[in-house]
Chain A
Amino acid sequence: MKKNHFRRFARRYVQLLAAVLYNCNFKGFATGKIWQGNTKGVCVPGLNCYSCPGAVAACPLGSLQTALLSSKYKFPYYVLGTFLLLGLFLGRFICGFFCPFGFLQELLHKIPTPKIQKSSVTRGLSYLKYGILLIFVIAVPLITLAPGFCKYLCPAGTLEAGILLTLLQERLRAMTGALFTWKAAVLILILLTCVFCFRAFCRFLCPLGAIYSFFNPVSFFGIKVDQAKCIHCDACVRHCKMDVRKVCDRECIQCGECIGRCPASAIHYGVANGRKNPGANCKDAVRKRSMARIVLRTLLIAAAIVLLLIGLKDNGFNDLKNKAIRICYECMGIG
């Protein structure tokens, strides 16, 4: 009974644990003061605003935007190296397991209401997050000196920092205005949509998911399909609530729901090689693809290590910490 319970809810426990560990400065929730320890020099993998009074580490997306903002004075080696390393090792496995905002969306979707099923429309909307990445995360910080996504859209920032800190600090309450109202409206709209549509924010809007999606084909850890066993029945894709075309494509959050649906037991979590037991009858084209993937992984991991080493030597850790130990007014919607 216990085993079955753990098996069924294992991912939920990991998600809960991640949310608690990211935000284990419990004193901050009472005092309204944000954590200023050294752990703020490290990015957590999932979306978690570092201006949240409970947050003990930095948000990767916030870090990227502030790094781009001052990139003409200092190149963000450390943050880029962190992204590369996280993506390379975990890809969108992070979305499925280590993202507190994804966890919240899944809980909201449990509310019994009519649900919007995936379709060509939702598949089309899933490209929106790449536009948001390009415009709000990259272009706006570089051009207007504002962390565009944090300032105008990020629901995690509004929920964890904006609402909590304005409740806890009177002087911040006095600073709220039109931007705060806008961000609160965006948050409510997103949360409401998530009740009817599975992980709507992740699927259509989240630029962090968009970044990690690029790494899905090359990430070391995640869902793997044993091609020798696969009977191509598409049961995995049919039952998946995300807009996937095949297991482990850019939209796959590697939640593992498809593992139990596969009648041939061909899907499993695995490390490194995307193709298990390639065998002697493996075609040349597949073998070449596999080789190209290995080369790409090697290059990427070398790049990640080089970027991280240069970043650390260039005071990147302290730079990130010095940003993350301060309240980001823009994340709160009062910038």
Chain B
Amino acid sequence: MRRKGMIKAVCVALAAVMLAGGVTGCAGVGDKETKQTQESETSASKEQESASTQESESEAAKESSSEEEKKNRFPDRANATLKEGKVKALEEGDVAPDFTATLADGSTFTLSEHDEDVVLLNFFATWCGPCMREMPAFEMLKDDGLDGVAILCVDCMEEKKTVDALVKEKGYTFPIAYDEEGIIEAYYPTDGIPYTLVIDQGVIFKVYLGAMDAETQYKEYKGAIDECLAK
């Protein structure tokens, strides 16, 4: 009898804890989705505003043929991140959503400022083994000093002090960005990290999930960058 009672109690307690957790979790997901959608909407409206301002300015002035040329050459980012109000998973050929990130050295990185470059964009975390193992590949690519190539590694939702500790310990000199709130990551949704994209003139050229060792990844990324530069 005692055993039965005990088991019943354990059973009920476990069910209660998990159900309570489930409800909290549901609420959390809802919050997250709302937050992401809100952020996307805010960003999209901002981008739309800035695009319309640019358009009116260029219409009013009708001065620069290079502006027109640029507009034709580079993708319209206003709708890049939104598809029916949701952040969509990115594929090769998609326009890379614009963002501005704060780097560990205090400067900022805006993707749209590198529209004429090949951008190697990586998402990582210090607890992710494959991420840490491939990190030297980015240092090697940076050391190559290729013209028209920009590298950015975005830390996924860790605190600044953790990222700073990594940079200090490893002495990496390539740009590493904070993303404590997961705002940049929300535009580049992925199930797992490392997640690396090669972006050529604002369009996603190649997507990599996971990683092997630094040497292998260096060759992979270098190959993709060379392909873009050779175009």
Contact = CB atoms under 8 A, between A and B. Distances in A.
A and B: real partners?
yes
A70 B22 contact: no
A330 B29 contact: no
B219 interface: no
A57 B125 CA distance: 20
A323 B24 contact: no
A40 to B, nearest CB: 7
A144 B129 CA distance: 8
B181 to A, nearest CB: 10
A11 interface: yes
B156 interface: yes
Contacts of B133: 145-146
Contact of A6 (B4, B18, B130, B158): B4
A69 B132 CA distance: 10
Contact of B25 (A13, A14, A35, A169): A35
Given A145-B133, A329-B210, A17 B25 contact: no
Interface stretch (A123-131, A300-308, A314-322): A314-322
B15 interface: yes
B146 interface: no
Nearest to B182: A322
Contacts of A256: 3
Interface residues of A, number: 58
A36 B32 contact: yes
Interface string A4-46: 0011001101100110011010000000011111111010000
Contacts of B6: 269
**How large, as a class, is the contact surface on chain B?**
35 or more
Nearest to B212: A335
A301 to B, nearest CB: 18
A14 B156 contact: no
A241 B4 CA distance: 22
A35 B32 CA distance: 12
A56 B210 contact: no
A21 to B, nearest CB: 4
A70 B128 CA distance: 8
B11 A39 contact: no
B7 A73 contact: no
B27 A326 contact: no
Given A10-B7, A14-B10, A33-B191, A73 B126 contact: yes
B78 interface: no
A61 B72 CA distance: 53
Q: Is chain B's interface secondary structure helix, strand, loop, or mixed overall? A: helix
A147 B127 CA distance: 10
Nearest to B163: A73
Nearest to B4: A7
Contacts of B209: 171-172, 175, 329
A323 B126 CA distance: 10
A288 interface: no
B25 A70 contact: no
Contacts of B7: 10-11, 14, 269
Contacts of B27: 38
Given A21-B14, A330-B130, A315 B22 contact: no
Given A18-B14, A39-B21, A327-B192, A66 B210 contact: no
Interface in A124-178: 141, 144-147, 151, 169, 171-172, 175
Given A10-B7, A97-B10, A329-B210, A74 B162 contact: yes
A17 B14 contact: yes
Contact of A70 (B15, B126, B193): B126
A3 B100 CA distance: 64
A37 B192 contact: no
Nearest to B210: A329
A238 interface: no
Interface in B169-205: 169, 182, 190-193
A145 B21 contact: no
A39 B2 contact: no
B165 A73 contact: yes
Nearest to B20: A39
A232 interface: no
A33 B182 CA distance: 18
A328 interface: yes
A318 B19 CA distance: 20
Interface in B143-158: 156-158
Interface of B: 2-4, 6-8, 10-11, 14-15, 18-19, 21-22, 24-29, 32, 125-130, 132-133, 156-159, 162, 165-166, 169, 182, 190-193, 209-210
6 contacts: A21-B14, A69-B127, A74-B159, A97-B10, A269-B7, A326-B190
The 8 nearest A-B residue pairs measured at CB = A37-B25, A38-B28, A39-B25, A327-B192, A70-B127, A21-B18, A70-B126, A39-B21
